[in-house]
Amino acid sequence: MHFSGLRVVKEALTGHRGWKPLWRNPDPKPDYDIVIVGGGGHGLATAYYLAKTFGKTRVAVLEKGWLGSGNIGRNTTIIRSNYLLPGNEPFYEFSMKLWEGLEQDLNFNAMVSQRGIINLFHTDAQRDAFRRRGNAMLLAGADARLLDQNALRQILPYLNYDNARFPIKGGLMQPRGGTARHDGVAWGYARGADLRGVDLIQNCEVTGFRIENGAIRGVETARGFIGAKTVGVAVAGNSGRVMAMAGQRLPIESHVLQAFVTEGLKPLIDTVITFGAGHFYVSQSDKGGLVFGGDIDGYNSYAQRGNLPVVEDVAEGGMALMPMIGRARLLRSWGGVMDMSMDGSPIIDRTGIAGLYVNGGWCYGGFKATPASGYAFAHLLATDRPHATATAYRLDRFARGFVIDEKGVGAHPNLH
């Protein structure tokens, strides 16, 4: 089923009777060449690129709930490639380029919107740091513009520039950053993978690994044993829990991050604003809701819900940045479990077990990475070699002293 404007018109005229489900719902086969654990954005993107780019179609994605029930459907949809360090920035810029061609590639409307992202700064020192970051972005082929306060006032006239604690002096803008519809991304990748023969198996929790002589032989699941000599784990916040079943301890803690959306409002914020100093960031969805969030709650959690102190902290950040937000009514808040790594950067690597690979540690920033993470993980699963942009995301980087610590806070997952 190909989506097009013509098709929409035709269906409208014929009572919308021709639409089909986006994917099949197959029973699991006894074995596959490659099994992917986790049907979130990263697992589905991995399956899609395995089939499309690497010609692997005896592939299954095993998801314990329904497709998109995890963080891919809970995030605040921001995409950007505004990192500083050489281990990160080329990877995220690769992801941004994939975002730019994604909808044509998938023939699916993922509502990719390059409305720009602006990180605010408040001191001379912070401006220097942002200038350096902008230069690093330009060197990696991304785009960046340093805005002074006057330029910022033209774009965002409603901010409180004279906050006593954090007066706004300017911002670093990435014009190509923006947002994408998170569910649409999951559905688009799922449909693309299914069309190419990948089995997407829902309600199929992986409960154990079968490992013989140091090599993976398959996975135990809620729907029986499924054989595979190559298994890729992409379970986001559950990485620690799932890899423990393979006897591995990871440099990861699971933490909860909350997000919020207001009632629908008239168009107001036409970009993404991050106020890092005040633990607050905001954008506006196409339905009109202000979508915003702040810091993680800060303690280990698998609960998929947070506590009130952080709600208060985020609301205070919003009030400090743009006092008019106090007039908006909150519609919903929710939480997701994220795998916070020890240096704040992800892992896409082999494990000590032959044929078992892990993709995790995405912290609060893995949505933007979805296309590149899927591509790089597919590359690793298909060729046993890391993709050129993901060579730094090794599991042993902590032991070797090659951490990728953007914030420079050390081995404290709740501070990244």
Ligand X SMILES: Cc1cc2nc3c(=O)[nH]c(=O)nc-3n(C[C@H](O)[C@H](O)[C@H](O)COP(=O)(O)OP(=O)(O)OC[C@H]3O[C@@H](n4cnc5c(N)ncnc54)[C@H](O)[C@@H]3O)c2cc1C
Name 116's Cβ contacts closer than 8 Å, sequence gap at least 6.
173, 174, 175, 176, 177, 178, 271, 272
- Written as six digits, the tokens of 405 are 């610590």
Of 59, 180, 193, 242, the one binding ligand X by CB under 6 A: 242
The answer to whether residue 278 forms part of the interface with ligand X (CB under 6 A) is: no
CB-based contact 160:169 (threshold 8 Å): no
The answer to whether residue 222 forms part of the interface with another protein (CB under 8 A) is: no
CB-based contact 61:44 (threshold 8 Å): yes
Name 162's Cβ contacts closer than 8 Å, sequence gap at least 6.
none
Q: Which residue has the tokens 């997701």?
A: 336
Query: Nearer Cβ to ligand X, position 222 or 324?
Result: 222
The answer to whether residue 309 forms part of the interface with another protein (CB under 8 A) is: yes
Stretch that binds ligand X, among 31-39, 109-117, 151-159, 382-390 (CB under 6 A): 31-39
The answer to whether residue 206 forms part of the interface with ligand X (CB under 6 A) is: yes
The answer to whether residue 275 forms part of the interface with ligand X (CB under 6 A) is: no
The answer to whether residue 367 forms part of the interface with ligand X (CB under 6 A) is: yes
Specify the 3-state DSSP secondary structure of 118. Answer: strand
The answer to whether residue 307 forms part of the interface with another protein (CB under 8 A) is: yes
The answer to whether residue 147 forms part of the interface with ligand X (CB under 6 A) is: no
- Written as six digits, the tokens of 202 are 């829902």
End-to-end CA distance of the chain: 43
- Encoded one letter per residue, x for contact with another protein by CB under 8 A and - for no contact, window 323-352 reads -------------------x----------
CB-based contact 38:236 (threshold 8 Å): yes
Distance CA 69, CA 183 (A): 9
- Closest CB 309 distance from another protein, rounded Å: 5
H-helix or E-strand spanning residue 153: helix 149-155
Query: Nearer Cβ to another protein, position 368 or 394?
Result: 394
For residues 30, 35, 38, 39, the Cα torsion angle rounded to the nearest 10 degrees is: -80
CB-based contact 13:162 (threshold 8 Å): no
Query: Nearer Cβ to another protein, position 116 or 240?
Result: 240
342 binding partner (options ligand X, another protein, none; Cβ < 5 to 8 Å by kind): another protein
One-letter amino acid of 401: G
- Closest CB 38 distance from ligand X, rounded Å: 3
Of 76, 248, 341, 345, the one binding ligand X by CB under 6 A: 76
399 binding partner (options ligand X, another protein, none; Cβ < 5 to 8 Å by kind): another protein
The answer to whether residue 246 forms part of the interface with another protein (CB under 8 A) is: no
The answer to whether residue 317 forms part of the interface with ligand X (CB under 6 A) is: no
- Encoded one letter per residue, x for contact with another protein by CB under 8 A and - for no contact, window 5-34 reads ------------------------------
Distance CA 77, CA 299 (A): 24
Nearest to 107 by CA among 214, 34, 8: 8
Query: Nearer Cβ to ligand X, position 122 or 255?
Result: 255
The answer to whether residue 77 forms part of the interface with ligand X (CB under 6 A) is: yes
Distance CA 180, CA 190 (A): 16
Nearest to 269 by CA among 314, 325, 315, 312: 325
Query: Nearer Cβ to ligand X, position 78 or 269?
Result: 78
Question: Applying CB under 8 A, which residues contact another protein?
Answer: 238, 240-241, 244, 249-254, 298-303, 307, 309, 342, 398-399, 411-414
Question: Applying CB under 6 A, which residues contact ligand X?
Answer: 37-43, 62-65, 69-72, 74-78, 205-206, 234-238, 242, 257-259, 293, 336, 338, 362, 364-368
